[in-house]
Structure 1
Amino acid sequence: MYIFGKILGVFFGLLFGGPFGALIGLFLGHQFDKARRLNSSPFSSSSFSSEEAQQARQEQFFKAAFSVMGHVAKAKGKVTKEEIHLATIMMERMNLTDAQKTAAQNAFRDGKSSDFPLDETLEQVLQATGRRHDLLQFFLELQISAAFADGDLHPTERNLLHKIAKGLGFSSEYLERRLRMQEAAFRFQRNARFGGASGGYQGSSGSAYQEQQTADRLDDAYKLLGIDKSADAGVVKKAYRKLMNEHHPDKLMAKGLPPEMMTVAKEKSQEIQQAYDLIKKAKGFK
């Protein structure tokens, strides 16, 4: 509550002008307090930069994401075709214009250079996001996805991811937990794509294969949500809600996520939803 201006206004108004002066002081103090309240509001022009500045920050985030992705891809010495394919897929998923696709490709190429300024780029990400946890986490997860593009995490990639996480303000323990979750997510989606590829054979070996695939996918669903198999319904729901809240596309968009990356955020939310639904079915709760 802003009343300091009113108090001073009444005091000096009463001191120099009696009751009538106090009324004038109260009015002037009210206007002063109103101006202070508006200036401190999260929706005021002083707190919110212009639309052009917001767009500039989003472009900075976009460019940094692809340049650091290129840096991660080059970490083990050679960029594999899977990593190039991942970058291409992400560009397609984002429905980029030709100009945006060229900018992403150029940024990815810049990241592969031996003198890439990683620390400076991460500092730009901190500034562009206003150090918002959800956006920084999204950025980090993009880099983890790049590292897992070929299905394997090389030691040099792991070390680089630790450096990136530290630069963004995340602990080593936090990164390792996210790496386990991302590895499970990679297998979870891979099993979804190829789980039924048993050649249509319906014999006992084919049935056993399908059962094993289902069991493996359920195991990865738990790891994707960051919980143990023994977790009860309450723990499962809490983990699900936390992850959905962190990855909700509309919330990320409101916090400054570039519009081009909305599709990636939506797909992550769908992945979390699929894992949760599978666990719900296995445990038999609603």
Structure 2
Amino acid sequence: MRIWGKFFGGVIGFMFGRFFGALLGIWLGHLYDKRMAAAQGESAGSRQAEFFNTTFAVMGHIAKASGRVTENDIRMATSLMDMLRLSGAARKDAQQAFREGKEPDFELEASLRRFRRITFGRREVQQMFLEIQIQTALSDGELQDKEYAILQVIARELGFSSFQLDELLKRWQAEFRFQQAPGDHRPSVADAYEVLGLSESASDQDVKRAYRKLMNEHHPDKLVAKGLPEEMMELAKRKAQDIQAAYDRVKSSRGMR
């Protein structure tokens, strides 16, 4: 059953017309879904559905890799659903995808190949997908061998090297520590450098160049333009905020303008 047209139509309608606007949006979305079902080939609606389904299915697969799904795994998936404001049928679809990913016969590589096809040429979107899976693997604070093996498969199928995966892992771990710094303590400069993917020996020009590159890769508007569902804008915004905070911390430590 196609629900994405009704979901997005309802949200848009509610924004502009509250209850009756939502009804109008859902009705228009229903007509859109019917057209989408009849249309041949891939479409924006089906790509968005595939994006969500693959995201949560692979999250479920990683969560099960350690032998059992932990409370942290469930909390991570639930938090992402909450952040994306998924409810009703959309949330049920995400939950079902998560359950399917936990099944022993889940075809990880086939799923990733379909995902790579629908996101072809959208490198930033593929990287965000990989980073979501990295966060799932590290949700309990440690990375197990089976989880790392799955991340390697994901990276390979999406065209990322082992080196790039390891760099993203280090960066995310530093970002987590950066975010968890107590309210009365500034995040460490060392973690700020890790978030930017730099060492403390980097020049001021290197710092500026790395900051511009990361902000360009993670700018919310650019990601949406490249195919990231708008519901994932909050993730992109948070990532951009972390990059900005790390850059400000490094600038302050160096006395840069």
Q: Does the 8 Å CA contact 1:58/1:128 hold for their aligned counterparts?
A: no
TM score, norm. by length of structure 2: 0.81
Tell me the residue number matched to 2:148. Answer: 158
Q: Does the 8 Å CA contact 1:151/1:186 hold for their aligned counterparts?
A: no
Tell me the residue number matched to 2:242. Answer: 271
Q: Does the 8 Å CA contact 1:60/1:125 hold for their aligned counterparts?
A: yes
CA distance in structure 2 between the aligned counterparts of 1:68 and 1:148, rounded to whole angstroms: 14
1:186 paired with 2:176, answer: yes
Tell me the residue number matched to 1:283. Answer: 254
Could you tell me which of 224, 233, 255 is aligned with 1:253?
224
Offset from partner CA, 1:198-220 (integer Å, 9 cap, x none): xxxxxxxxxxxx5xxx4x62211
Tell me the residue number matched to 2:36. Answer: none
Tell me the residue number matched to 2:191. Answer: 220
Deviates more, 1:237-246 or 1:96-105: 96-105
1:143 paired with 2:137, answer: no
The list of structure 1 runs, each at least 4 consecutive aligned residues, that deviate by more than 6 angstroms after superposition, is none
Q: CA deviation at 1:195?
A: 4.6
Q: CA deviation at 1:159?
A: 1.2
Offset from partner CA, 1:20-62 (integer Å, 9 cap, x none): xxxxxxxxxxxxxxxxxxxxxxxxxxxxx99x81111111011
Q: Which has the larger radius of gyration?
A: 1
Tell me the residue number matched to 2:207. Answer: 236
Tell me the residue number matched to 2:44. Answer: 54
Aligned residues: 219
CA distance in structure 2 between the aligned counterparts of 1:65 and 1:238, rounded to whole angstroms: 31
SS at match of 1:88: helix
Q: Does the 8 Å CA contact 1:59/1:258 hold for their aligned counterparts?
A: no
Aligned residue identity for 2:194: K
CA distance in structure 1 between the aligned counterparts of 2:233 and 2:49, rounded to whole angstroms: 14
CA distance in structure 1 between the aligned counterparts of 2:170 and 2:189, rounded to whole angstroms: 15
1:98-117 alignment runs, 5 A limit: 98-117=88-107
Aligned residue identity for 1:54: A
Tell me the residue number matched to 2:122. Answer: 132
Q: Does the 8 Å CA contact 1:75/1:157 hold for their aligned counterparts?
A: yes
- Unmatched tracts of structure 2, length 5 or more: 1-38
1:82 paired with 2:53, answer: no
CA distance in structure 1 between the aligned counterparts of 2:66 and 2:112, rounded to whole angstroms: 20
Q: CA deviation at 1:232?
A: 2.0
SS at match of 2:118: helix
CA distance in structure 2 between the aligned counterparts of 1:90 and 1:128, rounded to whole angstroms: 21
CA distance in structure 1 between the aligned counterparts of 2:69 and 2:163, rounded to whole angstroms: 27
Q: Does the 8 Å CA contact 1:65/1:139 hold for their aligned counterparts?
A: yes
CA distance in structure 2 between the aligned counterparts of 1:236 and 1:261, rounded to whole angstroms: 28
CA distance in structure 2 between the aligned counterparts of 1:224 and 1:243, rounded to whole angstroms: 10
Q: CA RMSD in A?
A: 1.8
Offset from partner CA, 1:168-189 (integer Å, 9 cap, x none): 1111111111111111111111
Q: Does the 8 Å CA contact 2:219/2:237 hold for their aligned counterparts?
A: yes
1:34-45 alignment runs, 5 A limit: none
